[in-house]
Amino acid sequence: MPQLPGNSRYGSIRSKLFLLVLLVSAIALTISMVGGALLEWNKQQEQVRQSLVTTARAAGIAASAALAFHDRKAAGDALRILQAQTMIEAAALYPLEGYRLATYGDSGGLPDNVSKLSEHLPDFTPWSAATTLFQPVVLDGSAIGHLYLRASLLDYRRTYLLHAALMIGANLLGLLLAAGLAMRFIDRIVKPVRELAGTSRQVRASGNFSLRAVPSEANLGRDEISELVDSFNAMLAEIERRERDLTSYHKLLESRVLERTASLHTANRELQLAKEAAEAATLAKSRFLAAASHDLRQPIQAINLFKEALDKTGLNGEQTRISHFLSRAILNLGELLDALLDISKLDTGAVAPQPGVLGVHKLFSDIDAEFSLLAAAKSLRFKFSFPPGATALFTDGALLQGLLRNLIGNAIKYTERGGVLVALRRRGDQALIQVWDTGIGIAPEHRAMIFDEYFQAGNPERDKAKGLGLGLAIARRLATLLNTEIVCHSRPGKGSVFEFRLPLAPNGQ
């Protein structure tokens, strides 16, 4: 068992308890000692006083006749009775006249005359070496003189001190006994507390909740400490159980997460594969379409050549009319093939934008050349608006022209009155390019669909003469290639605007 810091604290509670027991015992013993000494003192004092008074009275009676007759010799003989009391050092008899009639023992210090004396009983302290008594000698109820006594207290004091020493010895023995017993019992009481503290330190240091404090009921039976040990052990068991539960929950959670992650991975891979397959299929379809429209061009050209040859064979009126319809059908077919080829080319990724500096003047004059006649044929105004000075875009010119061609073509096509305006405005380092018209406009519910393939708001019968419905689909793909997006605003009956943003060339060049 490793020695952990704080173990020495056990010593402190033990010594505190020990000191407490010692203090309480010492106080109790001291009180009893002092009380005993006082009682003993009182008792002894009373005994000494009684014995002296009785002796003095006996001596007084013995000497009363001699005193009455002032007989010195008889008085001295009578006083010899005092020999029976060894503690009496000296004594003197005084008749009523007050002079000293007779003495006994060591007469030094005995007063010659009673004038200095007053009647008193023996009085003394534990430190006094001697005491005195002065009392009247009575004969037939009246005082005939006085007796003076001096008694040594040395013997008495010796006895008293011996008693006291014995008592102190006994008390010290008691204190020693109490200390020994206290040590034994305190050790027994403190041992389980120390073990409990040791176990708690070990648990704290090792984090091992399977440890338990040892119950020590064998020595002291059930008490608060054994209850504390039990509660502590129960607490440890509870913590251990919770820790086990937590660990198993943790493991369960981990395995669930792993499971879910694995299934997510699988799902992701499946999705990825499906997406790749769909993309591959779309690409294959676009390639097939491109190849087909390219190959279809050959027989169409052949048909055209055959029709021209047929025209030269001198046709009658009906045959010329049929030939005319044939031309229009061939034209439509050509346009359709062009549009399909465009879309499939854009979808297969065969077209890569090649951005360069494109002057706005050049762009707009090309457009003007292409569309002004078309607009004039419908009596529409056709205008441009752009900032003064040289302005240039940084973009792919061919793709931008394709995009504008679709938007401007639509604007002229769906406008009967008013005109078409192509505008370019600076917006920071970008140009906002807009195609305005005062045409029929687009209903809000159609606005989201006009960019879909084959959607035409005004041609539910799908009359090929009214166009193919592929122009905006192509425009949207071109915009994506140019990294921009076409936004359409429109008010039905008032007109529409289609706009998108492109980067300006640096320095406006």
Ligand X SMILES: Nc1ncnc2c1ncn2[C@@H]1O[C@H](COP(=O)(O)OP(=O)(O)O)[C@@H](O)[C@H]1O
Judged by the rule CB under 5 A, the positions of this chain that interact with Mg ion are: 410, 471
Among 95, 122, 402, 471, binds ligand X (CB under 6 A): 471
Q: How does DSSP assign 285-311, residue by residue?
A: HHHHHHHHHHHHHHHHHHHHHHHHHHH
Tell me how far apart the alpha carbons of residues 134 and 149 are, in angstroms, rounded to a whole number.
6
Cβ contacts of 416 within 8 Å, gap of 6 or more: 378, 439, 440
Q: Which is nearer to Mg ion, 195 or 335 (CB)?
A: 335
Tell me how far apart the alpha carbons of residues 26 and 24 are, in angstroms, rounded to a whole number.
5
Region for 391 from its dihedrals, namely left if φ exceeds 0, alpha if ψ lies in -120 to 50, beta otherwise: beta
- The four Cα atoms 405, 411, 413, 419 give a dihedral, to 10 degrees, of -120
Q: Which is nearer to ligand X, 212 or 446 (CB)?
A: 446
472 counts as binding ligand X under rule CB under 6 A: yes
499 counts as binding ligand X under rule CB under 6 A: no
450 counts as binding ligand X under rule CB under 6 A: yes
- Total residues found in the chain within this entry: 509
Cβ contacts of 301 within 8 Å, gap of 6 or more: none
Q: How does DSSP assign 265-278, residue by residue?
A: HHHHHHHHHHHHHH
Among 59, 290, 442, 482, binds ligand X (CB under 6 A): 442
Given ligand X, Mg ion, none, residue 450, with its beta carbon under 5 to 8 Å by kind, binds ligand X
197 counts as binding ligand X under rule CB under 6 A: no
Of 267-275, 291-299, 319-327, 434-442, which segment contacts ligand X by CB under 6 A?
Answer: 434-442
439 counts as binding ligand X under rule CB under 6 A: yes
Minimum distance, C-beta of residue 261 to ligand X, in the bound complex (Å): 46
Given ligand X, Mg ion, none, residue 442, with its beta carbon under 5 to 8 Å by kind, binds ligand X
For residue 389, the one-letter residue type is G
Among 196, 468, 486, 504, binds ligand X (CB under 6 A): 468
309 close to 326: Cβ distance less than 8 angstroms: no
Of 61-69, 114-122, 140-148, 471-479, which segment contacts ligand X by CB under 6 A?
Answer: 471-479
Of 61-69, 74-82, 300-308, 462-470, which segment contacts ligand X by CB under 6 A?
Answer: 462-470
Q: Which is nearer to ligand X, 213 or 468 (CB)?
A: 468
- Helices 224-311 and 317-347 pack at an angle, to 10 degrees, of 150
Footprint on residues 303-322 left by ligand X (CB under 6 A): none
Among 456, 478, 482, 486, binds ligand X (CB under 6 A): 456
Q: Which is nearer to Mg ion, 223 or 452 (CB)?
A: 452
Minimum distance, C-beta of residue 304 to ligand X, in the bound complex (Å): 23
75 counts as binding ligand X under rule CB under 6 A: no
340 counts as binding ligand X under rule CB under 6 A: no
Given ligand X, Mg ion, none, residue 393, with its beta carbon under 5 to 8 Å by kind, binds none
236 counts as binding ligand X under rule CB under 6 A: no
Find where tokens 């039905």 sit: 492
114 counts as binding ligand X under rule CB under 6 A: no
Residue-wise over 403-418: b if at least 16 C-beta within 10 A, else e?
A: bbbbbbbbbbebbeee
Find where tokens 């403190």 sit: 190
Q: Which residues pair with 65 in a beta bridge?
A: none
Given Mg ion, ligand X, none, residue 411, with its beta carbon under 5 to 8 Å by kind, binds ligand X
CB 152: neighbour CB atoms within 10 A?
16
Q: Which is nearer to ligand X, 124 or 414 (CB)?
A: 414
Residue 219 burial (CB < 10 Å; 0-12/13-18/19+)?
A: exposed
458 counts as binding ligand X under rule CB under 6 A: yes
CA distances to 17, 381, 478, 495, 499 from 487, rounded to whole Å, are 92, 23, 14, 14, 5
Q: Which residues pair with 425 in a beta bridge?
A: 432
Q: Which is nearer to ligand X, 277 or 448 (CB)?
A: 448
Minimum distance, C-beta of residue 371 to Mg ion, in the bound complex (Å): 13
Minimum distance, C-beta of residue 474 to ligand X, in the bound complex (Å): 8
Given Mg ion, ligand X, none, residue 29, with its beta carbon under 5 to 8 Å by kind, binds none
In 143-223, alpha helices (H): 154-206, 217-220
> What is the DSSP code (8-state) at residue 81?
G
Give the number of residues in contact with ligand X, rule: CB under 6 A: 23
493 counts as binding ligand X under rule CB under 6 A: no
437 counts as binding ligand X under rule CB under 6 A: yes
State whether the Cα torsion 271-276-277-278 is positive or negative.
positive
Footprint on residues 404-423 left by ligand X (CB under 6 A): 406, 410-411, 414
Minimum distance, C-beta of residue 390 to ligand X, in the bound complex (Å): 30
Q: Which is nearer to ligand X, 102 or 408 (CB)?
A: 408
Among 192, 486, 496, 500, binds ligand X (CB under 6 A): 496
Q: Which is nearer to Mg ion, 410 or 415 (CB)?
A: 410
User: What value, to the nearest 5°, has the Cα angle with vertex 404 and ends 419 and 283?
Assistant: 145
Tell me how far apart the alpha carbons of residues 241 and 210 are, in angstroms, rounded to a whole number.
9
Among 105, 467, 489, 503, binds ligand X (CB under 6 A): 467
Tell me how far apart the alpha carbons of residues 64 and 54 are, in angstroms, rounded to a whole number.
15
Tell me how far apart the alpha carbons of residues 368 and 385 are, in angstroms, rounded to a whole number.
12
Minimum distance, C-beta of residue 412 to ligand X, in the bound complex (Å): 9
Record the tokens describing residue 371, joined without a space: 């569309």
Given Mg ion, ligand X, none, residue 440, with its beta carbon under 5 to 8 Å by kind, binds ligand X
Given Mg ion, ligand X, none, residue 484, with its beta carbon under 5 to 8 Å by kind, binds none
Residues that bind ligand X (CB under 6 A): 406, 410-411, 414, 437, 439-442, 450, 455-459, 467-473, 496
